[in-house]
Each structure stands twice: as C-alpha cells, then as structure tokens.
Structure 1
Amino acid sequence: MSERAVLEVIALDAEDAVAAQAGGADRLELVTDMAADGLTPSPGTFAGISAEVDVPLRVMLRLTDGFAAGSPAERDRLVRAAGELREAGAREFVLGFLDASGGVDLAAVELLVDVLDGCSWTFHRALDHAADRDALRRQLDGLPGLDTYLTAGSPAGVDAGLPTLLAEAARHGTPGYTQRLLVGGGLRLTHVPHLRTAGIDAFHIGSAARPHGWATPVSSAAVAQWRGVVDGG
C-alpha cells in the first residue's frame, strides 16, 4: 500500500495544534503573527504545542515580513532563534530567503542550515517570488535536510500556478527536483484531485482550516474535510 498523502496545517498555538491533529493533519507548521505572513514562534510556544500533540512540527524561521534575511544583526538573531528552538526540541523547520535581485540568498540559507545540522526543512513560498525558480532549485539541491518546497506555483496562488506545479511534478527525480512539492497558497479543495493525479502528494492549508478567519482557531471539522479529499474521498 502506498504511503498516504501529507496534509500540513498552520498552527499558532496548542489549541490549533490539538484541533488540527484531531481532524487528521499529518504535520503542523508552527508560526506566529499571520499579519506578517508567519514569523518564528518562541521556544516556549513550541514546547507548549509539542507537549499537546504527537505529529511532526515544522517551525518557521523568519523574523520579519517578506523574504529578505535582513542585516547581519538580524541574521545573528535568526541563528540564535534556530539554536534556541533546537534546544527546545525542534527537529523540523521552514525557511527561505531571496536577495534584492530575486535570487536565492544562499549565504543566509547556508548559515541556518549549518545550525540545523541535518534537521529536515522546507524551503517556503519565497520560491514563488524568485526571479528564476529552476536556478533556485538547482542552487539549493543537495543542501543537508532540504526535503520539501512549499509552493503555489505562482505569487498569485494555485489558480495561476497550476501549470508550473504540474510541470515541476513531471520533473520529479531529476537534478533540482528530488524534493517533495507541498502545495499551498490559495489552495482549494477542487484543486486537490487534479494535483493528486499529477503525482503531487502533499498539501498545506492555513485559512482553509479556519472557516471563520484567522481570529478563530483551527476547525477540526474543516481539517477532516480536507483529509477526506486528500485521501481521495
């Protein structure tokens, strides 16, 4: 029997995490401050969530809105944050940085990868804002721990990015394309069957798990609905 597809849900706190797990989430992305599109949670927040659930937790490493790693001082803060989260028990992460020209900020990425020391990590939707997606993927290929790209295929979301997602799925296994595609960003239930048919087996939801908006917690019923569709129900 083939391994079931991954459903990853954004969690802001333990209440979110418990509801997401109850609904059938396989993994959680832990962030704070969704007004800034998701920033690094504190080690205490991570520890509190980790104590309540037993699904894998991927922790965001980003201190400001956008895709720039920032000044040397801000990079030092990121490194410290990553180290503190690791000390708190975090073993999976999410990160991604671009330079001013839209290329991957390889120095910033490698700085954090060194601190992560082999931990699994996702390169997030900075990919969708890159000047050259293919060049970025080839530059990152082979970095320790990189196993996933979170992408909508386009900055505008999955509706616009579908052709790109399908083309990249077709290249899976070739140089730069060995990592799993985790589709998120304007993802709708109606997209899932088409993406599954193309071989994509990982899906990421945030607002879709909160039918009443970000001011309300994750709905286990909403997650369960996604679980059913992702599983082909």
Structure 2
Amino acid sequence: MVQNPLLEIACFNLESALIAQENGADRVELCAEIEVGGTTPNFEIVKQALEKLNIDLYVMIRPRGGNFVYSEEEFEQMQSDILALKELNVNGFVFGILKEDNSINFEQNKTLVNLAKPFPCTFHRAFDEVEDSFLALEQLIDCGFKTILTSGQAQNVTEGMNRLTELVSKANDRITIMPGGGLRSANIEVIQQNAKAIFYHSSAITDGSETASATEVQALKSKLQ
C-alpha cells in the first residue's frame, strides 16, 4: 500500500503548532523570528509544545538571521542548543551551514548531525543558495541528513518545480526531498504531480500574520492524496 504524502507545518508560535496538529499536519517545525525566515526557538516554548503535541516536533537550530556562514562562537552555540534540546526529547533538528562561497560546510554539518544522533536532521533552505545542487545533494547524504527542505533553488516551489522533480529523482529514496517555500493549497497539487515527493512543507499562513490558518492546513492535507 502506497502511503499518502506527509505534511510539515513551519510554526512560529505555540498556537500555530496546535492548529497544525488539530487540522491534520504530520509534523511541526518550530522556529522563532518569522521575519528572518526562522531561528532557534525559546526552549520554554519547545517544552510547552512537547507537552501538547502528539505529532513529531522538529526544532530549528539557527542562531541568527542572515547568511548561513557562522562564526566559531555561533557554531558552538548551535552545538550546545542541540545538546540541550536532545535532553527535552524533541523528534528532530533543522539546520544548515555553508562556507563563504555558498558551498556545503561538510565538516560542521557532519559534526552537528553526529551530535544530534539518534535524532534525524533536515538541511533547510540554505540548500537553495548552493551553486551545484546535485553535488550538494550527495554531500548532504554523506553527512547523514535525512531530509532536504528546498524550493528547487528558486524564489518559490512553483518556479523551482523542474529542479524539485530532478532532485527527487536523483535522491532516489536515499534522502527525502521536501518541497517548501511558497507552498500553499493553491499549488500543492501541481507540485506533487510533478515532483512526486513524499513530504511537503508550508507555514500555512494566509493573512500576513505569524499564525497558521486552520483552513489552509486542512486544505493542504486534503490535497495530498
């Protein structure tokens, strides 16, 4: 029996996480600071989310907005955050580190993936900054990531659909390619028909706020058949 594709909702507050769960999401990615695309959330919010959620909770590890090249101090912060959150028993981590030339920082990413074990890790949309996406794909598989969140290296998943389709094909079940970035109920069907991914990512925010729309979560989920 073929499993229906799954839905992850990026949540910037506890209310969104609960809306995601109540309306059929399969996983929550918890972050702070929507205005910079997500950073490491407050640990108190993580604890509250863990108390209330039955679905998986992945946590963003990103010390600041801006680029994905980190100082030694920031890298140490990421390591200590992962260790602290492992103690809370989250279900997975989301991060991504690049070098100055926007290539994958293999050593630092591998260090964090190993530190996170046995919890799975997603490489986030820093992937969309790399020059050679197929080389990066192989490197991230070698690092031990389980998932890559990507818009197909475009402004949004609609523009990146052809690349998403290629990435899913080249990944060949060795790693999950998760389309995200401008993914909404209005375009998820065409993305799914082309890319044939097994996991999809959306904030489900439709009103310019920081909170997911229950109706949009339901609509996204209903179209993943």
TM-score interval, normalised by the smaller of the two chains: over 0.9
8 Å contact from structure 1 (residues 8, 27) kept in 2 = yes
Aligned twin of 2:63: 63
Matches within 5 A, 1:1-233: 1-144=1-144, 146-173=145-172, 178-198=174-194, 199-206=196-203, 209-215=204-210, 217-231=211-225
Q: What one-letter code is carried by the residue in structure 2 that aligns with 1:212? A: D
Q: CA deviation at 1:62?
A: 0.5
Count, aligned residues: 224
Distance 1:195 1:170 in 2: 14
Q: What one-letter code is carried by the residue in structure 2 that aligns with 1:107? A: E
- Tell me whether 122-131 or 163-172 shows the greater mean CA deviation: 163-172
- In structure 1, the gaps of 5 or more residues are none
Q: CA deviation at 1:97?
A: 1.2
8 Å contact from structure 1 (residues 40, 61) kept in 2 = yes
The sequence identity of aligned pairs, in percent, is 25
8 Å contact from structure 2 (residues 109, 143) kept in 1 = no
Any runs of at least 4 consecutive aligned residues in structure 1 with deviations exceeding 3 A, and if so which? none
Distance 1:50 1:12 in 2: 15
Instruction: Kindly report the root-mean-square deviation, in angstroms, between the aligned alpha carbons of the 2 structures.
Output: 1.6
Give the alignment's TM-score, normalised by structure 1: 0.90
- Tell me whether 80-89 or 154-163 shows the greater mean CA deviation: 154-163
Q: CA deviation at 1:14?
A: 2.2
Give the alignment's TM-score, normalised by structure 2: 0.93
Q: What one-letter code is carried by the residue in structure 2 that aligns with 1:99? A: K
8 Å contact from structure 1 (residues 14, 52) kept in 2 = no
8 Å contact from structure 2 (residues 125, 151) kept in 1 = yes
Q: CA deviation at 1:140?
A: 2.1
8 Å contact from structure 1 (residues 69, 75) kept in 2 = no
Q: CA deviation at 1:31?
A: 0.1
